[in-house]
C-alpha cells in the first residue's frame, strides 16, 4: 500500500492507473476505521481493480459546537487495517491542502440537504458535498462506496453526482451492526459502558417496525409515537427526531409505504449524537 498526502501526487497515481485501463474504486472516510468501513473497502475491491481509501476529518462538515476537536483518530491503526484489506492507496490529506487560504467554493444539494439531519446541522451536508467533490476530482474514481448508515448522505451524493455530471458510479452498502443491533460508528468510542448498552435501543425500536411490515399499513404519526415511547423509556437517550420519509425524496410520508419508506432517527446518548435508520 502506498500512502500519500499531496493531492497532486494522488491525482497522478490515479490517472496512471486509469490510463492503464484499471478501474479505480474509492471509499471516503473520516478514519478511526471499524468493520463498517472495512465492509465498504471489500465492496470496492469487488467493483474495481485498485482501491483508494481517504481519511480526512473534514472541518467543513462540523458545526461550531460539534466534536471536530475530539473526533477519534488512530492513523497507525487505520493504515494497518487498510493494508490488511489490500488497499492500494491511502490518501490522508491535511486541512491546509484541502482548504488553502482564500478557499471560497461550495457544493450544495438544496432540498435533500434541508431535511432530517440537514435541518438540524446547518452546513453539514454542504461540507460533505464539497469535500466529496474535491476528493472525486483528485481521485477520478470509477466507483465510490458509501454506507446506508448515513442514508441521507448517500441520497445526497447520488443526487449531486447526477446533477453535476460527476462521472462516478455511487454504490450503497448496508449498515454493519454490533451483535445487539447498534450501528457501528467511530463515535461509539465516546460511549461509556452504560451509554453503550442504552444506545442499542435505537435499532431495537426500529427493528420492531420491520417485524410488522407484512401487517396493516401504519400511519406515520402512530409509528413516530411508538418509537418515541420506546426510545424515551431509556433515560440515557435524548431523542432528537424520528421521521417517516419517502426514501427517494426524504420528504415526510403520511403512512408507511412498504418498499418506499425510510424511518430515520437521531438521538444523543450522553454527549454523543448517534443516527440510525431502517428501510421498510
Active site residues: 37
Task: Pick the stretch among 12-20, 146-154, 224-232, 233-241 that binds ligand AMP (CB under 6 A).
Answer: 146-154
What letter does residue 187 receive in the DSSP assignment? G
Between CA 155 and CA 169 the distance in angstroms is 13
Is 30 a binding residue for ligand AMP by CB under 6 A? The answer is yes
Decide if residue 56 touches ligand AMP (CB under 6 A).
no
- Smallest distance from the beta carbon of 141 to ligand AMP, in angstroms? 13
Q: Rounded to the nearest whole angstrom, what is the least distance from the CB of residue 21 to ligand AMP in the complex?
A: 27
Exposure class string for 84-103: b at 16+ Cβ within 10 A, else e: ebebbbbbbbeeeebbeeee
The only residue of 36, 113, 118, 127 in contact with ligand AMP, by rule CB under 6 A: 36
Q: How far is the CB of 43 from ligand AMP (least distance, A)?
A: 10
Question: Binding to ligand AMP by residue 147, rule CB under 6 A?
Answer: yes
* Binding letters toward ligand AMP, positions 188-227, x by CB under 6 A: ----------------------------------------
Q: Residue 211's closest CA among 229, 197, 196, 226?
A: 226
Q: Can residue 61 be called a binding residue for ligand AMP (CB under 6 A)?
A: no
Alpha carbon of residue 166 to chain centroid: 19
Of positions 10, 14, 38, 40, contacts ligand AMP by CB under 6 A: 40
Using CA atoms, how far residue 32 sits from 150, 170, 176, 186, 227, in Å, is: 16, 23, 15, 6, 30
Task: Record the cell numbers describing residue 150, joined without a space.
Answer: 448515513
261 Cβ partners below 8 Å, 6+ apart? Answer: 244, 245, 246, 247, 253, 279, 280
Among 134, 146, 191, 262, binds ligand AMP (CB under 6 A): 146
Asked if residue 173 binds ligand AMP (CB under 6 A), the reply is yes
Q: How far is the CB of 178 from ligand AMP (least distance, A)?
A: 9
Query: What is d(CA 275, CA 62) in angstroms, rounded to the nearest whole number?
Result: 15
Inter-CA distances, 46 with 43, 54, 90, Å: 5, 18, 18
Task: Name the site residues for ligand AMP (rule: CB under 6 A).
Answer: 29-30, 36-37, 39-40, 146-147, 149-150, 173, 175-176, 183-186
Amino acid at each position: 500500500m502506498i500512502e500519500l498526502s499531496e493531492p497532486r501526487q494522488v491525482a497522478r497515481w490515479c490517472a496512471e492507473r486509469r490510463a492503464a485501463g484499471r478501474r479505480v474504486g474509492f471509499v471516503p472516510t473520516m478514519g478511526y476505521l471499524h468493520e463498517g468501513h472495512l465492509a465498504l473497502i471489500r465492496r470496492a475491491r469487488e467493483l474495481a481493480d485498485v482501491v483508494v481509501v481517504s481519511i480526512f476529518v473534514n472541518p467543513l462538515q462540523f458545526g461550531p459546537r460539534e466534536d471536530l476537536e475530539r473526533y477519534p483518530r488512530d492513523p497507525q491503526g487505520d493504515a494497518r487495517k487498510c493494508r490488511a484489506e489490500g488497499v492500494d492507496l491511502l490518501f490522508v490529506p491535511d486541512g491546509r491542502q484541502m482548504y488553502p487560504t482564500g478557499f471560497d467554493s461550495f457544493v450544495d444539494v438544496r432540498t435533500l440537504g434541508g431535511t432530517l439531519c440537514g435541518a438540524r446541522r446547518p452546513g453539514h451536508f454542504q461540507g460533505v458535498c464539497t469535500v466529496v467533490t474535491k476528493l472525486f476530482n483528485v481521485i477520478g474514481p470509477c466507483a465510490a462506496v458509501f454506507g446506508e448508515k448515513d442514508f441521507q448522505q448517500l441520497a445526497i451524493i447520488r443526487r449531486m453526482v447526477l446533477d453535476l455530471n460527476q462521472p462516478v458510479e455511487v454504490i450503497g452498502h448496508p449498515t454493519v451492526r454490533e451483535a445487539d443491533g447498534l450501528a457501528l460508528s467511530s463515535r461509539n468510542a465516546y460511549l461509556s459502558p452504560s451509554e453503550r448498552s442504552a444506545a442499542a435501543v435505537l435499532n431495537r425500536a426500529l427493528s420492531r417496525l420491520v417485524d410488522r411490515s407484512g401487517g396493516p399499513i401504519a400511519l406515520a404519526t402512530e409509528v413516530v409515537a411508538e418509537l418515541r415511547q420506546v426510545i424515551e423509556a431509556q433515560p440515557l437517550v435524548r431523542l432528537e427526531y424520528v421521521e417517516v420519509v419517502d426514501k427517494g425524496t426524504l420528504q415526510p410520508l403520511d403512512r408507511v409505504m412498504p418498499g418506499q419508506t425510510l424511518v430515520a432517527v437521531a438521538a444523543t446518548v450522553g454527549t454523543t449524537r448517534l443516527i440510525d435508520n431502517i428501510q421498510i
